[in-house]
Structure 1
């Protein structure tokens, strides 16, 4: 699928134990996994691509909705102008770059780009 600006593109969850989490979702739902180091695994065959990030903190509202946009600086400026707050500056990861923001109600989302 072609990446399109501002569509929900990925969902990310927290996981206390990556191996147990992978085993659970594979056994119950047939999801497949690709590991990106010891603290992250991506899943497929779920209807929407996503991943699990290792955490040692209690998981509360553990889902992170990730949007796509080809121009991170442009969309970041638009978010700030509309009252959003950047809570994690642009950073690189295998496959691209992204940042996190909160909307005016405090919901945290992320936007990534492969450019």
Structure 2
């Protein structure tokens, strides 16, 4: 199973981004420290990353899978290149990859 369910955005302030979406649309916000917040939208969660060392350059579309190892094999077999090795975060593990057209995406698996 592969399903887009998360998009991570660069943010100057994760808290400000979270407050905006909560006030504007009534979406639930889950802060993960001072530099990160999740906003639960309709079927997709938005993440806002304010840590300069972790902040993506552009919105990062994240694909959910049940098997991170098999997903990596599929990405590499199709010509994708892993740009960030698998790492753990609250709720799961993920890695980033660049597809042959140049866009960076991520794959994640809940733990």
**TM-score strictly above 0.5:** yes
Q: For residue 2 of structure 2, give the secondary structure of its aligned residue in structure 1.
A: coil
Counterparts of residues 81-92 of structure 1 (less than 5 Å): 81-92=77-88
What's the CA shift for 1:35? 0.9
The verdict on how the C-alpha distance between 1:71 and 1:55 changes in structure 2, with shifts beyond 3 A counting, is same
Cα RMSD (Å) of the superposition? 1.9
Alignment gaps of 5+ in structure 2:
none
**Structure 2 matches for 1:3-22, cutoff 5 A?**
5-22=1-18
Count of matched residue pairs: 109
Question: 1:43–1:60: structure 2 CA closer, same or farther, 3 Å change rule?
Answer: closer
Equivalent residue for 1:35, pick from 31, 37, 52: 31
TM-score (norm 2): 0.87
TM-score, normalized by length of structure 1?
Answer: 0.84
Provide the secondary structure at the position in 2 that maps to 1:37.
coil
Show the counterpart of 1:112.
Answer: 108
Find the counterpart in structure 1 of residue 19 from structure 2: 23
Whole-angstrom CA distance in 2 between matches of 1:20 and 1:66: 22
| Structure 1 position 42, deviation (Å) | 0.7
Per-residue deviation at 1:80?
0.7
Structure 1: gaps of 5 or more residues = none
Q: Would the alpha carbon gap of residues 49 and 28 (structure 1) be closer, same or farther in structure 2, given more than 3 Å must change?
A: same
Quote the residue 2:61 is aligned against.
65
